[in-house]
């Protein structure tokens, strides 16, 4: 008969006559040393050339590979994405506005880098700045894939937060370690790209 190890699926031949009158026989797998029992095919009335059913006498434990807990950068990225998706859903449902404070227009001007001399209007309260992913794409090899997040709050203030990027985010010549408030026409650097935040009060200076 053919005996199959339930742990590693190794198959080996065994003379079923060696069962004698015993209804089951305990085996130790020569490959993985797993202990298991096999029913006597003669007693069970099974064909000798078919594998006998294997009643397990002990649970098989499966060890899953250990995974490291997500880093703070991963959690921040997931939180930012979830918040943006939630805001977009509420806007689509007409439950809330676009999230930007009324009476202001926010833009980012590229001063240096691959996108130099261009201006991008900001249309949502959370802006991801990255080399190839986000709302503002730098195409700058010195910028991380998800480099920084610019948050525009309901009171009209703007805050920049680094996303644990490789080269960091610089404000006033210093690498920031937490949220830093930006004011109108203030510059900040991500990689080799320099930005200037532009804030326009549309109540005082209406758009034409």
Question: What's the pLDDT tens digit per position in 2-45?
Answer: 888 888 888 888 787 887 778 888 888 888 888 888 888 776 55
Average pLDDT, the chain: 80
Question: What's the pLDDT tens digit per position in 13-22?
Answer: 878 788 777 8
- E-assigned strand segments in the chain: 2-4, 11-13, 24-28, 35-39, 104-112, 118-121, 126-130, 136-137, 148-152, 158-162, 169-171, 174-175, 180-182, 187-190, 193-201
Instruction: Write out the two tokens for 183.
Output: 């004011």
Quick one: which of 147, 187, 184 has its CA closest to 169? 147
Which pLDDT does position 86 carry in this prediction? 54
Question: What's the pLDDT tens digit per position in 43-55?
Answer: 655 444 445 455 5
pLDDT at 107 over 50: yes
**Predicted TM-score of the model (pTM):** 0.52
> Over pLDDT 90: what percentage of the chain?
44
Quick one: which of 100, 113, 172, 183 has its CA closest to 141? 113
The confidence band for 150, taking pLDDT boundaries of 50, 70 and 90, is: very high
CA distances from 70 to 5, 76, 77, 147 (A): 37, 10, 11, 18
């Amino acid at each position: 008969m053919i005996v199959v190890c339930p742990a590693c699926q190794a198959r080996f031949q065994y003379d079923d006559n060696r069962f004698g009158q015993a209804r089951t026989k305990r085996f130790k797998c020569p490959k993985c040393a797993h202990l298991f029992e096999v029913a006597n095919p003669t007693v069970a009335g099974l064909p000798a050339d078919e594998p006998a059913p294997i009643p397990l006498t002990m649970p098989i434990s499966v060890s899953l590979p250990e995974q490291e807990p997500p880093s703070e950068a991963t959690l921040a990225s997931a939180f930012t994405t979830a918040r943006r998706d939630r805001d977009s859903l509420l806007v689509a449902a007409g439950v809330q506005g676009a999230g930007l404070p009324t009476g202001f227009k926010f833009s980012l001007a590229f001063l240096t880098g691959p996108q130099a001399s261009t201006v991008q209007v900001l249309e949502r309260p959370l802006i991801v700045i990255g080399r190839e992913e986000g709302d503002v794409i730098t195409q700058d090899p010195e910028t991380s894939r998800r480099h920084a997040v610019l948050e525009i709050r309901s009171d009209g203030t703007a805050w920049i937060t680094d996303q644990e990027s490789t080269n960091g985010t610089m404000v006033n010549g210093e690498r920031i370690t937490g949220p830093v408030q930006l004011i109108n026409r203030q510059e900040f650097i991500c990689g080799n790209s320099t930005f200037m935040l532009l804030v326009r009060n549309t109540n005082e200076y209406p758009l034409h």
